[in-house]
Structure 1
Amino acid sequence: MLLDENFHFVGTTKRKSATSAIAPSSEQTPTGRSNAKTKETFDVDADADENSQDPRTDRRLNWTKDEDIRLASAWLRNSKDPVDGTDRKADQYWEDVTKEYNQTTESCRQRNRNQLKIRWDRVKKPVSEYHGCWIQTSRVYRSGFSDDQLMDLADKMYASTHNNKDFMLKHIWKVVRDERKWSAYVKRMEKEKEKEKEKGATTKPVEVVNLDDNPNMRPMGHKKAKDERYGKKKASDAYSAISEKLDKFIEVSTMARKDREKVSEVQQNLANSKLEAAKLAHKAAQEQVKCKMLDTYKDLLLAPTSNLSAHALAEREKALESMRMVLFATDN
């Protein structure tokens, strides 16, 4: 009897465990998903941290441009930056961002606080780097270039420092580019980087080693050699490339400005020449009229007057007086 009871107990346990294993999984079986063909399969917590205490789901939810834009907008409106922000703690701040984001998001695509925070942490660095490229090109070409032309230059500068990879988050950058909160946020990140560099310099002083004096120097590793073979550069090389490109931009801009000044000078000289030529032509015409008047004056003055009446003589005298005033006014 004892054997039968144990046997019955084990069988019952096995049956119950099988039922409990099937029941929850039936809600997420591929067959259940296939019934809704219009829905895509995503992982909502693709950006979630392993140590997160927020609930996890089984769907991967890729970020769309519209969702990135709404995240950036919520970040701006709830920013705790000192420009317009508050003194909220980080947890409360991201709770507010999450609440605003999910208010305009359909329920099947809503995310938790941790997912939004990690997404923002991932995009802020490339967006701030592209913003730096934009600022540098805008300073070089302050006038004469449209926004599209400046963005093309910023695109090339960004790609040159990221292994020729294009900047894919311009939709986020366009939301924050002109905002004071974003500018202050970027400056704060730069200051934090400088502090980290200074801290690293004090804690880990750089030791200058002469390779020729150190025969036991470790040879170049496989990864480093492979990186150099495929043209991958260090950050210092990337910044040198930026500096070189900016120098070229400045040189080209200076040459273009000088060319414009030369063209303007030539045009001014031509205008002055035309004006001078017009003055000379006008003066020549006046001299020609004066010469004709002088001939008339001489003819009238030397003409006989014996046959003229008193009225004609008076008119003759008036005409001579008028011509004398024109011809010999400077002599008087």
Structure 2
Amino acid sequence: MDLLQDAQVDLGAPPLEPFRFGDDLEEDEEDEGDDEEEVAKIGEEAFTAASLPPARSTNYTEAEDILLVRAWAAVGMDASTGTDQTGKRYWQRIEDNYCRIKPKNSGFISRTYRSLQGRWELMKPACARWSADMDQVKDAPPSGTVESDYETIAGMRYKEMAASKGKPFPFKHAWAILQTFDKWKLRDQETAPKKSAMLRMDDSEDEEERNLGKPEGTKKGKLRVKMEGEASSLREKMEHMMKAREELTTKTLETKLLITKKKKEVKLAQVEAKREEAKRKADLEERMIKLKEAKVWKELMVEEKEHMMMSKKDMDHNQLQWWKDYKEDIAERKMMFRGASSTFRGDTPMSSCGDGGVDDSTGAYGDA
């Protein structure tokens, strides 16, 4: 008891290593062990490590934040890719760019694309709130303030925002770089990465390009064969749809051409029918005219015959003169009728005496 009371204990001294009996013997036995025991131990350690939760990565430094900002801006401003891609592929490209621009032998730990994405999702809303506060102060500065006071006033407003939870803006180092990029200025117009199931095949192909050196496992091979089969089936369906569409278009065009041809035939038939009807009417009118002309000619011949049948024996000089004048009038009308008529051209059936009339040179009727 006296020894314990008199002893002095140094609380700052490092702890003593525990005494382990038989450690040397166990080390010799391990050296003499076969390969199967080593494999079993390694497998057990790997199983134990896999069952434990992953260790939390260290916090980001200001230099890493700046690298992330530059990688994000470079990928988004690339005209060949932009943001027209899946979320996974988008952040894998940011990860690739981050590793490419990271200085060699810098001592920075490796960051996965999920870690970079999580850090960015923390930085972006904070920088957006800070940007809004700075814009408000610049647009409507409080009276009596100068430009050097803007950042202090914006910092006070930032802490008062509910999302900031009373904490100051922690990313001024990233904001100084971020505000210079056009992509940040147009962040409200940025298209969100696609999440369509149709692009999962592209993500798998992209993952294969990132892991070309790794052997393909059985599960991965089956998945690749399955996706290739689905892609082949999809291509066949698309080709069948395109072929059916082409056939439908061809049939529609043929139907339209047939309808147009039928319309032309009907129109030609209608024109021909109208032409035949007009010809029939013209023939009918011509026959009617001929009948009228024949009737007029017949009446004229009857009138001439009756006039020639009149007896001139008892006529005096005046009556005889009238008879001659009337005869000349009939002859003149016959001549005019012949010139205008389309039926009686040349001699008529009653023109055996030259002009179709009755010759009185013999005086047969005159002496009757």
Task: Give TM-score scaled by structure 2 length.
Answer: 0.34
Q: Answer with 1 or 2: which has the greater Rg.
A: 2
Q: TM-score, normalised by structure 1?
A: 0.37
